[in-house]
Structure 1
C-alpha cells in the first residue's frame, strides 16, 4: 500500500483513506492531487492506481450509466476533438470533449485499441505503425513510440502493408504492441507477401524485440483493429490474389506463447453472397463475426451473427442470429455493454440493435470519418516524454500453424 506522510495521516488512518479515495470517480480523485505533495505521491503510486482501476472496472460492469464510448475522429483536417459518450439503455449522451494532443503528419489517424483507459493510435498515412501513440484521455498525457528497427527506417517504404496490435499483459502488468510488416519481393506482386517481419514492444522495458522466423507467406491481413479474446489478437485475413485461392480465414496471435494460428470461418456464404464481408467482433466474451449485405445490394437484407462458443474450436461455430431487415448497413462498430450491436447506416446514422429482443433504437449520432471504441476512465499514468523504441534482438521462433 502507498505510504502517506504523518501530516496526511493526521485525521484519517492510512488504510481508511486508501479505501475511500480509491472508490471515487476518476475526476474526483484528480482534484485531490492538488491537496499536498504527499497526496499527489499517494494518488500517483502504482498500488493506488491498480486498486482504483479495478474498482472502476467493477463499477463499469455493475452500473450501465458508467459505460463509456470514445468517439475518435479519423480525419483531422477540421478538428481534433474526441468525445467521451455515456452509453445506456435509453440514450447515448455526450459527457465531455478532449482534444487529441498529438499531431499526425497525414492528418488522419487509425485507432488500434484501448485497454484500462489507455488508447492506442497511429498515423494512418505513411507513418502507419512507425509512429504510435499511447494516450490517457482523462489525464491528457501520452507516449510517442517511434520504431527504430532496421525495417522502419531504410526499408520502411518497401513494406506493402503494416498491421499494429495493442494489449495489456496481465501477468507482467505491462502494455505491449505488436507490429507485423509484410514485404513484397522485387519481381512479385505487391500483394504476394513472401516475407514478413514481426516485432513486439514493451512499455515497461522500452524495447522492440523481433520474433525470429515469424512467417505469414502469401497472406493479407484485412482488418486493422483486431479483436482480443482469451489473450489472443485476432484479424480477418485473405490469401494474396496471386495464390488463386479466394477465401476468408482468421489469423490469431497468442500474446502468451507468441505463436500465430490460422482458424477457419464456418460456411456462412450458404446464407450470404460471395461479396459480403465478415466483421470480427467480441460478443458476450466470445469471438463472433457479423455479416450483412452491402449497402447498395438489392433484395432481402439479412444480418447474421455467428459465435465461436469455445475459442479455437472450429466445430463450436454456431449461427446465433439471422435477422431479416429492410435497413441497409455500412459497417458494424461493435457491441455495447447491453449486447446491442452498433451499426453505421447510410441514412439514419448509428443504430443500436438487440438481436435477442429484436428492438432497435436510433442514437442520432454519426460515425462518418470517426471511430468508436469501448472506453473506461483510469488513472494509469504515462510519463510526459518521447519514447524512442530501442532495438533488442531477443525472442523466440513463431510460426503460423
Structure 2
C-alpha cells in the first residue's frame, strides 16, 4: 500500500492492435518465389549480347565468368554474330585540311576504327605517325607505344593483325582483339623488308601470321620465300620443300589486300610472266603454306580494257572493273571468282556509274561491306596535291548509291580495310593490354559445357 493509503495503479501496456488483412494484402505478405529463365533462353540472350557487355558480365559470379570464357560459348557467340556483321575495320587518315597536304606527307591524324554502312565510325586507336625508336623495344611495352606507324594487315574472327610500314628489321607484329583489349606481340626475324598477311587454319584452329620475304641471292632476285608463324606452336617456320615463289607483292600495297575464308590475298607481280609488271592476285594457303597465282578475267588482260580493283565481296574473291572496255560511257562491272584452279570468273552485276564519278583515274574501291555494299572513293590529283571529292556507297543488288554523312564528315583517306566482327576470341599467347607483367591468377574453369545447367549457375540467373 502507498503511504497515503491509496493503492498504486499499475500501468498495463496496451496490446498491439490486431489487423485482419484483406486477401490481397495477405498475398503480398507471402514470400515471392522468383523463377529463373530456362538455360537455353539465357544462352540465346547472351549470344545476342555485345562483347563489351559480356566482358562486364564476367564480374557477376564465378559461374558467369566460367561460362563466358568457355571455348564452346565463345565459338557459338562468334557463329551467331558473324552472319549479322556489317563492320569494316579501317586504317585511314582524316583531317579537315587534308586537301592541302602532299600525297607523301604524314597525316596530322591517323585513326584505326570501325565503319558501318550506316551510323558513325567507332574510333579504336588514334595513331601518331611520328615514331621514335626505343632502346628497350619492346620491353615494358604498352599497346599505344607498340608502333606509331602501325597498319592493319588482316582481321579474322575478331582478331586483328597489326604490322608496320617498311620498318620490319628487329621489330614485331601483333595480334589484337580490340573488343576485349587482349594482344600478343610476335617478334620478327632480322628481315629488312617483308609483306605480312593473316590466315586461319580451321582444321587446327590455328591463327597464322604469313610473311612473304624477298630473296636476297642474286640468282633469285624478284623471287620470295614464305615464313609462317603458328600461334598454336608459338614459333616461326620456313615452308621447306615448297621452294621459293615467283611473286612479290605490290610495293604500294605492301601487306595482304584482303582475307577470304581465312586465306590472305596479295596484289603483286609474277616474276615468270612475260609482262613482269602485270598485276596478279597471289594467295598463300595457311594450311599447307603453298602459293597460288590467280589471273584476272581473261578479256581484261589486254591493256585499255579497264581499271581492275580486286576485293572481298560476300566472302568471295571479286574484282570491280572501272571503265570496262576503255569506254567511259560503259558500266562498272563486278566479277566473282567461281573456280581458283581454272580462274573461272562470272559477271555478277553491271552498275550505272554514280554521277559523281567523272574521273575514273581518281576513283578507288577500298573494300566491300560483308552485306555487299561497295565503297567508292573519288578524288582529283594535280601534281603532288590531292583533293578529296567524295565518298559514296553503292548497293550492286539494287543499284542504289548513297552516302554515310557521318563518314563523310571525317573526310578520310582510306588505307587498309578488312571485314571485322566483334568477338570474345582469345588466341593462344594473348595477354591483357596494360597487364603484361602481372602474374596471372588461376581462373575458374567449367569442365563440361552442360555444367551451366547446374543449380549453382541457374541461381545467378534470377530475374
Instruction: Tell me which interval the TM-score lies in, with the shorter structure as reference length.
Output: 0.7 to 0.9
**Which residue, out of 116, 124, 127, partners 2:165?**
124
Q: Which residue of 2 aligns with 1:383?
A: 431
**Which residue, out of 87, 96, 99, partners 1:68?**
87
* Structure 2 CA distance for partners of 1:56 and 1:325, relative to 1, 3 Å: closer
* Structure 2 CA distance for partners of 1:236 and 1:272, relative to 1, 3 Å: same
**Which has the higher Rg, Structure 1 or Structure 2?**
2
**Which residue, out of 164, 167, 190, partners 2:199?**
167
1:127, CA displacement in angstroms? 2.1
CA distance in 1, matches of 2:69, 2:366: 34
CA distance in 2, matches of 1:263, 1:42: 44
Q: Which residue of 2 aligns with 1:25?
A: 50
* Structure 2 CA distance for partners of 1:146 and 1:349, relative to 1, 3 Å: farther
* Structure 2 CA distance for partners of 1:277 and 1:102, relative to 1, 3 Å: farther
**Which residue, out of 94, 99, 112, partners 2:121?**
94
Whether the 8 Å CA contact 1:112–1:166 is kept in 2: the answer is yes
**Which residue, out of 255, 259, 262, partners 2:286?**
255
CA distance in 2, matches of 1:69, 1:212: 35
1:166, CA displacement in angstroms? 0.8
* Structure 2 CA distance for partners of 1:192 and 1:21, relative to 1, 3 Å: same
CA distance in 2, matches of 1:133, 1:377: 17
The CA RMSD measured in Å over matched residues stands at 3.7
Q: Determine whether 1:52 maps to 2:77.
A: yes
Q: Determine whether 1:332 maps to 2:377.
A: no
Q: Determine whether 1:133 maps to 2:179.
A: no
**Which residue, out of 209, 215, 238, partners 2:237?**
209
User: Helix, strand or coil for the counterpart of 1:309?
Assistant: strand
1:94, CA displacement in angstroms? 3.1
Q: Which residue of 2 aligns with 1:313?
A: 342
Whether the 8 Å CA contact 1:163–1:179 is kept in 2: the answer is yes
User: Helix, strand or coil for the counterpart of 2:365?
Assistant: strand
Structure 1 residue runs of 5 or longer lacking an equivalent are: 1-9, 61-66, 388-401
Whether the 8 Å CA contact 1:253–1:260 is kept in 2: the answer is yes
1:45, CA displacement in angstroms? 2.4
**Which residue, out of 233, 239, 251, partners 2:270?**
239
Deviation per CA, 1:37-58: give whole Å up to 9, x if none. 4433332222222222222224
Alignment of 1:263-302 (within 5 A): 263-269=294-300, 273=304, 277-292=307-322
User: Helix, strand or coil for the counterpart of 2:52?
Assistant: helix
Q: Determine whether 1:344 maps to 2:377.
A: yes
TM-score normalised according to structure 2 size = 0.65
Deviation per CA, 1:129-181: give whole Å up to 9, x if none. 9521111111122111112xxxx22xx23xxx522111222221221111110
Whether the 8 Å CA contact 1:344–1:350 is kept in 2: the answer is yes
1:85, CA displacement in angstroms? 3.0
* Structure 2 CA distance for partners of 1:217 and 1:261, relative to 1, 3 Å: closer
Deviation per CA, 1:303-340: give whole Å up to 9, x if none. 33222223433244447436455503432121113322
1:354, CA displacement in angstroms? 2.5
* Structure 2 CA distance for partners of 1:314 and 1:213, relative to 1, 3 Å: same
CA distance in 2, matches of 1:284, 1:30: 29
Whether the 8 Å CA contact 2:260–2:315 is kept in 1: the answer is yes
Q: Which residue of 2 aligns with 1:396?
A: none
**Larger RCO, structures 1/2 (Cα 8 Å, 6+ apart):** 2
TM-score normalised according to structure 1 size = 0.74
CA distance in 2, matches of 1:12, 1:76: 55
Whether the 8 Å CA contact 2:91–2:151 is kept in 1: the answer is no
1:291, CA displacement in angstroms? 2.9
1:228, CA displacement in angstroms? 3.3
CA distance in 2, matches of 1:232, 1:25: 27
User: Helix, strand or coil for the counterpart of 1:93?
Assistant: coil
Deviation per CA, 1:199-243: give whole Å up to 9, x if none. 211112211111014344553222422433455432233235997
Deviation per CA, 1:80-136: give whole Å up to 9, x if none. 64333332xxx342346455734354x322211111111111011312895211111
* Structure 2 CA distance for partners of 1:228 and 1:373, relative to 1, 3 Å: closer
1:352, CA displacement in angstroms? 0.6
User: Helix, strand or coil for the counterpart of 1:379?
Assistant: coil
CA distance in 2, matches of 1:69, 1:298: 32
1:252, CA displacement in angstroms? 2.3
* Structure 2 CA distance for partners of 1:271 and 1:264, relative to 1, 3 Å: closer
